[in-house]
């Protein structure tokens, strides 16, 4: 079967066409139009500008995704769309477009939760992956651990109590003067910091852990973020300059990254003890971080747990992951009608999905 999907929850307009059968998901096209250059001028996403940019991009992105897939519109079996969580104006653009397309093609409309879609990106390259497993989602808006009991059931067993991990990377990056969003640049800078630590002496910079000091699986990134930002300001004052030398920046990036990796591994290690999973899946934009990939992979190897993480191109927002999640919704007959609304929060998304699953049980 062929699924066409749209993702527009934040600052990427994306459309994808997949062919799916049995456990196989073939990505025929996955077009991503990023608004990063626009929002970089403001140092963060401006919601109103994001909605307008989605309006401008969505027709061309969709047209390109369909034409480059080699599939004709009349062969599309379902249209999927991210309906939550995210920026409400951005979500509504994708939702309205997807509704019209599903209606005009006369095919089912599939509502997709963005966070669960991030995790489903892993099915694209890992046919062998199947629930149950534990999933860690690390993105610009989320840092959560889920117990995934079936393809569409995610129970949150830990989360950040304040900032998301990606948010901390971006804010620290901004104070360091790195281009927005700072995550990828921080990754490269930390590599420089680690290699100079290996060749010289060990770093003596230590930042607080984002692992909450209790027996929950929760995180807190705001203390870490503030500690790093204060450290940077102090260093600048010491040398009476607005710009820190490159080697100091790299050392700070490495110390921050170590704190993030250690904190995440601490809570994952507790989750392994509590839940005894066979597999851990890591997903979301920050899952592209090379140091975090290495740390979580080593933790899993040490504990005899399989580790699955999508390729870097499938970690950030893209519609192929939306389509992958939708394939499992399709198999369960979980469709929306044209009254489908967009929701900004996780809670509203969850309530909607519960209702959809309950209605489905009644109908069948
Ligand atoms: O999942 P995503 O594309 O969007 C949301 O759903 O939020 O995640 C975006 C986040 C941004 O904070 C970005 O800086 C971060 O992912 N990111 C990274 C890396 N690549 C992207 N963070 C750390 N290291 C990276 N290599
Ligand atoms: Zn995302």
Tens of pLDDT along 161-202? 999 999 999 999 999 999 999 999 999 999 999 998 766 556
What per-residue confidence (pLDDT) applies to 212?
A: 98
Mutate which of 286, 296, 310 to test ligand 1's pocket (most atoms within 8 Å of Cβ)?
A: 286
- Name all residues whose Cβ lies below 6 A of ligand 1: 10, 139-141, 166, 169-170, 181-184, 186-187, 284-286, 288-289, 316-317
* Token pair in block for residue 308: 């699955």
CB 54 within 8 A of CB 39: no
Residues with CB under 5 A from ligand 2 (ion): 139, 317
Q: How far, rounded to the nearest angstrom, does the alpha carbon of residue 160 sit from its chain's CA centroid?
A: 14
Tell me what pLDDT residue 364 has: 40
- Check residue 297 and give its pLDDT: 98
Choose one of 8, 10, 139 to mutate for the ligand 1 pocket test, by most ligand atoms within 8 angstroms of C-beta.
139
Torsion angle in degrees (nearest 10) through CA of 284, 286, 290, 294 = -70
The torsion angle over the Cα atoms of residues 124, 129, 135 and 140, rounded to 10 degrees, is: -10
| CA atoms within 13 Å, Cβ hemisphere of 278 | 6
Q: How far is the CA of 243 from the centre of ligand 2 (A)?
A: 32
| Rounded Cα distance, 102 and 98, in Å | 6
Distance CA 119, CA 97 (A): 24
Which strand (E) or helix (H) includes residue 283? strand 279-283
What separation in Å is there between the alpha carbon of 85 and the centre of ligand 2? 9
Per-run averaged pLDDT (10 residues), the chain, 364 residues: 98 98 97 96 95 98 98 98 98 98 98 98 98 98 98 98 98 94 97 82 85 98 98 96 94 97 98 98 98 98 98 98 98 96 97 94 50
Structure-block tokens of residue 340: 């489908």
CA of 139 to the centre of ligand 1 (A): 5
pTM: 0.96
Name the closest-CA residue to atom 5, ligand 1: 140
Give 320's contacts (C-beta < 8 A, 6+ positions apart).
5, 16, 18, 27, 30, 121, 124, 314
Ligand 1 centroid to Cα of residue 315, in Å, is 8
Q: How far is the CA of 237 from the centre of ligand 2 (A)?
A: 36
Residue with CA nearest ligand 1 atom 16: 285
């Amino acid at each position: 079967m062929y699924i066409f999907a749209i993702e527009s929850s934040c600052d990427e307009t994306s459309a994808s066409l997949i062919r799916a059968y049995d456990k196989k998901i073939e990505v025929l096209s996955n077009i991503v139009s990023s608004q990063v250059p626009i929002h970089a001028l403001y140092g963060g996403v401006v919601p109103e500008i994001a909605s307008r940019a989605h309006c401008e991009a969505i027709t061309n992105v969709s047209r390109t995704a369909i034409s480059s897939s080699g599939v004709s519109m009349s062969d599309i079996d379902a249209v999927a769309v991210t309906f939550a969580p995210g920026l409400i104006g951005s979500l509504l653009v994708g939702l309205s477009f997807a509704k019209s397309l599903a209606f005009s093609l006369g095919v089912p409309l599939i509502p997709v939760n963005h966070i669960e879609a991030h995790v489903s990106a892993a099915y694209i390259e890992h046919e062998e992956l199947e629930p149950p497993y534990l999933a860690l989602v690390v993105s610009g808006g989320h840092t959560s651990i889920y117990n995934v009991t079936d393809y569409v059931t995610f129970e949150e067993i830990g989360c950040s109590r304040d900032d998301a991990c990606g948010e901390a990377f971006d804010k620290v990056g901004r104070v360091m003067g790195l281009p927005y969003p700072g995550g990828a640049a921080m990754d490269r800078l930390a590599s420089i910091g680690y290699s100079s630590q290996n060749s010289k002496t060990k770093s003596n910079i230590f930042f607080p852990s984002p692992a909450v000091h209790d027996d929950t699986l929760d995180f807190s990134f705001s203390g870490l973020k503030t500690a790093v930002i204060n450290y940077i300001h102090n260093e600048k004052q010491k040398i009476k300059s607005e710009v820190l030398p490159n080697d100091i920046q790299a050392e700070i990036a490495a110390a921050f990254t170590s704190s993030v990796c250690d904190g995440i591994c601490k809570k994952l290690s507790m989750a392994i003890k509590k839940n005894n999973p066979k597999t851990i899946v890591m997903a979301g934009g920050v899952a592209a971080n090379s140091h975090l990939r290495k740390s979580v992979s080593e933790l899993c190897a040490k504990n005899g747990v399989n580790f699955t993480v999508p390729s870097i191109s499938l970690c950030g927002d893209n519609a192929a992951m939306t389509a992958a999640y939708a394939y499992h919704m399709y198999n369960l007959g979980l469709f929306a009608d044209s009254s489908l609304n967009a929701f900004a929060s996780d809670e509203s998304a969850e309530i909607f999905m519960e209702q959809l699953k309950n209605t489905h049980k009644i109908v069948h």
